[in-house]
Amino acid sequence: MSFIRTSNKHITRLYQNHHSLTHSLRLTKHSSRNILATTATVRNIFSQQQQQQQQRDLTISACIIGDEILSGRILDINSNHIAKKCFERGVELSRVEIVRDIEQEIADTVKRLSKTSDIVITTGGIGPTHDDITYQSIAHAYNLGLVHNLPTLERMVAKMTKVMNRSNVKAILPDPHGTPEQVACARMALLPEDSQIHYPCDELWVPIVTVNKNVHIFPGVPRIFQQLFSADFGRLLQIASAKNKISSTTTAAISGSSSSSSSSSVVDGIKDGRMSSIEFDDSAGGGGGGGSDTVVVEKKFYRALVRTTRPEHRESLLAPILSRIQKKYIGKLKIGSYPTSWAPDNNTMPNSVIVSVVGNSRELVEVCQQEILDSITDSEPVNEEDDPGVIPMPPI
């Protein structure tokens, strides 16, 4: 605003091409009052701009975690639910990232998103098996330990006991010091220390766990996630808005479409697909810009599925078996497990558990599939085409 304090002659020179403004100011020897008025106007404009900068739009990002989403077997509908809820509330969903079940990748992604977003939502990877590593990955990101959360354990026992009584099917109850199956079940309550725990739904034992004040960890099962997110989204917005003095009043719609193509086939129940990966040779100082430094390597992936055929075979029961087998194939195969659809008679126990084996060697995938079949009684191989991948779930 230093130009306001200059002489009348200087102001006249600045605005000599703007006749209407010059005329309105009527710069004469008696124009000091006009200059003061102009100064006040400029100050008001600067003040309004500062207030607008302080009342920026709220930003939200999402981190979707899971190998099976990236491989195309499980359809991600959680990010779509987040996007719809954000749009309804006039909040910007700035980014959605899908990451593999790799601790460092999850940690790096969440930490980066936390620095650039007011709210970070993570979904997936909080079950009882070895490939459920979200809690430990986010704890690692912020140098936190892991502790069993007693209120969550108590809610698990109460809700699961109620489920058993209602369905007349025995379930594994969590116990950090019990059998391997009970310890596996208790992993779902092994939370980052110093985190904030919130239970927005009385009918669910599953908590929303908050780390670093703005990273909110949700389960990945769509029905449970949607129930928790819908119940708690307003609270998360209020906390973030109050903390950052943020206004979230603008809603805008952007429509678009995208398409992708892939090649895959199912032979003898084994799914295979091709994925191109790009590797860069930086020895000559080149980067990721392509050209002669870029080498395209085509890899072929195979996937085999095993399905349990008894309701008693829940993930907690299978966890020690799958962990033992996975250790034999570290770096060669990836094993994951997923609960399937629920009984049409509204039974509250799952029909079965699907175990997935993925690798580059068809022979090794088949060997591992057979080992799983031999290790789990009442199990059977299943065709990829017969498994929809979308997992509706009942209340817990």
- Evaluate whether residue 127 is within a structural domain: yes
Do residues 30 and 99 share a domain? Answer: no
pLDDT band at 168 (very low <50, low <70, confident <90, very high): confident
Do residues 63 and 40 share a domain? Answer: no
- Output the six-digit token pair for 275: 């994925």
Give the structural domain span for 221: 59-244
Do residues 11 and 155 share a domain? Answer: no
- Output the six-digit token pair for 203: 């009918």
Beta strands 215-218 and 119-123: pairing type? Answer: parallel
The pLDDT tens digits of the residues spanning 119-140 come to 999 999 999 999 999 999 999 9
pLDDT band at 40 (very low <50, low <70, confident <90, very high): low
Q: Work out the percent of the chain whose per-residue pLDDT is above 90.
A: 50
Q: How many domains does the chain have?
A: 3
Do residues 19 and 146 share a domain? Answer: no
Q: CB-based contacts of 62: which residues, under 8 Å, 6+ apart? A: 78, 79, 82, 93, 95, 96, 97, 120, 121, 122, 123
Residue pair 56/247 in contact by the 8 Å Cβ criterion:
yes
- Evaluate whether residue 393 is within a structural domain: no
Task: Tell whether the torsion through CA atoms of 252, 255, 261 and 267 is positive or negative.
Answer: positive
Do residues 23 and 64 share a domain? Answer: no
The pLDDT tens digits of the residues spanning 179-228 come to 999 999 999 999 999 999 999 999 999 999 999 999 999 999 999 999 99
Do residues 84 and 167 share a domain? Answer: yes
350 DSSP 8-state letter: B
Global pTM reads 0.68
Do residues 217 and 274 share a domain? Answer: no
Q: Which of 54, 73, 91 is the endpoint of a domain?
A: 54
Q: What is the CATH classification number for the domain harbouring 175?
A: 3.40.980.10
Beta strands 208-211 and 215-218: pairing type? Answer: antiparallel
Do residues 273 and 308 share a domain? Answer: yes
| pLDDT for 80 beyond 80 | yes
- Computed over every residue of the chain, the mean pLDDT equals 76
| pLDDT for 41 beyond 50 | no
Residue 83 falls in which region: left (phi positive, over 0), alpha (psi -120 to 50) or beta? alpha
Do residues 78 and 43 share a domain? Answer: no
Q: What is the CATH classification number for the domain harbouring 269?
A: 3.30.70
Q: What residue ranges in the chain does DSSP mark as E strands?
A: 59-65, 92-99, 119-123, 146-148, 190-192, 196-198, 208-211, 215-218, 264-267, 270-280, 294-308, 333-339, 353-359, 379-382
pLDDT band at 289 (very low <50, low <70, confident <90, very high): very low
CA distance 363 to 273: 15
Which DSSP string do the residues of 127-164 spell out, in sequence order?
SSSTT--HHHHHHHHTT--EEE-HHHHHHHHHHHHHHH
- Evaluate whether residue 86 is within a structural domain: yes
CA distance 210 to 110: 12
- Evaluate whether residue 67 is within a structural domain: yes
Do residues 207 and 76 share a domain? Answer: yes
- Evaluate whether residue 394 is within a structural domain: no
The pLDDT tens digits of the residues spanning 8-19 come to 444 444 444 444
The pLDDT tens digits of the residues spanning 223-269 come to 999 999 999 999 999 888 877 654 433 322 222 233 333 344 444 55
- Evaluate whether residue 203 is within a structural domain: yes
pLDDT, position 165? 84
The pLDDT tens digits of the residues spanning 319-373 come to 999 999 999 999 899 999 988 754 444 444 456 899 999 888 999 999 999 999 9
- Evaluate whether residue 274 is within a structural domain: yes
Residue pair 57/247 in contact by the 8 Å Cβ criterion:
yes
pLDDT, position 7? 42
SS3 73: coil
Do residues 305 and 327 share a domain? Answer: yes
pLDDT, position 284? 34
Q: What angle do CA 374, 379, 384 make, to 5 degrees?
A: 110
* Better-scored residue on pLDDT, 47 or 24: 47
Do residues 193 and 300 share a domain? Answer: no
- Evaluate whether residue 392 is within a structural domain: no
